[in-house]
């Protein structure tokens, strides 16, 4: 059963406000989120100079921002686990480790995609035509 609440434009406006609050809180309290943002912003600009096609530029931009998104989710998991308590619990540790693993995988995918695209464009190797 759906919970009652606002609908239409008011719901969208409220959702945007909560998203803004979440970004502000994350950037204020999470160093890793600030670091991911400091990675995503310049890579977004550099992508236009590195990519040789729309697909390459899109991939070069998407990966750092997906990593930033994974870091937001990881920070949310950590906040919920920390709110529950600071005593050790196997499931709490597992939840935090899984969130961290998600960010790590996204970072490695970002490095991989950037390396492959730069390498192909520099003529180090060729995939396809």
Q: What residues act catalytically?
A: 71
The answer to whether 117 and 60 are in contact (CB under 8 A) is yes
pTM here?
A: 0.88
| Residue 96 pLDDT > 80 | yes
Collapsing DSSP to helix, strand or coil, 3 comes out as coil
DSSP letter for 88, please: -
Query: In the chain, where are the structural domains located?
Result: 31-120
* CATH of region 31-120, choose from 3.40.109.10, 3.40.50.620, 1.10.287.3610, 1.10.579.10: 1.10.287.3610
> What integer pLDDT is reported at residue 2 of this predicted model?
59
Separation CA 70–CA 93 (nearest Å):
18
Place 125 in a pLDDT band, splitting at 50, 70 and 90.
confident
Mean pLDDT computed over 73-96: 93
Burial 57-79 (b: 16+ CB within 10 A, else e): bebbbebbbebbbbbbebbebbe
Separation CA 56–CA 43 (nearest Å):
13
């Amino acid at each position: 059963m759906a919970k009652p609440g606002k609908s239409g434009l008011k719901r969208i406006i409220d959702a945007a406000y909560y998203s803004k609050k979440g970004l502000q809180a994350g950037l204020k309290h999470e160093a890793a989120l600030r670091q991911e943002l400091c990675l995503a912003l310049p890579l977004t600009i550099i992508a236009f100079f590195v990519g040789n096609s729309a697909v390459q530029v899109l991939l070069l931009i998407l990966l750092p921002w997906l990593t930033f998104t994974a870091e937001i989710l990881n920070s949310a998991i950590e906040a919920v686990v920390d709110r529950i308590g600071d005593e050790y619990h196997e499931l709490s540790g597992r939840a935090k480790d899984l969130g961290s693993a998600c960010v790590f995988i996204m970072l490695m995918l970002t490095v991989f995609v950037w390396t492959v695209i730069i390498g192909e464009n520099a003529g180090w190797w060729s995939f396809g035509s």
